[in-house]
């Protein structure tokens, strides 16, 4: 299961997920919630 969070400093969205027990956090390079939600649906 993945989730979206916002970085308060850069106001950019990040996606967080776990794969094989390892945590990952990747920038979505967008400040638009709609684009971030669409990217979350693709993961």
The pLDDT tens digits of the residues spanning 1-43 come to 899 999 999 999 999 999 999 999 999 999 999 999 999 999 8
Please, what sign has the CA dihedral across residues 41, 12, 25, 8?
Answer: negative
Phi, psi torsion values for 2, nearest 5 degrees: -110, 160
Per-residue model confidence (pLDDT) at position 38: 96
Instruction: Check residue 6 and give its pLDDT.
Output: 95
- Determine the pLDDT at residue 43: 86
pLDDT for 40 equals: 94
């Amino acid at each position: 299961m993945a989730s979206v969070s916002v970085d308060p400093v850069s106001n950019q969205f990040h996606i967080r997920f776990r794969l094989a027990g390892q945590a990952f956090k990747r920038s979505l390079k967008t400040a638009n919630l709609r684009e971030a939600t669409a990217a979350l649906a693709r993961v």
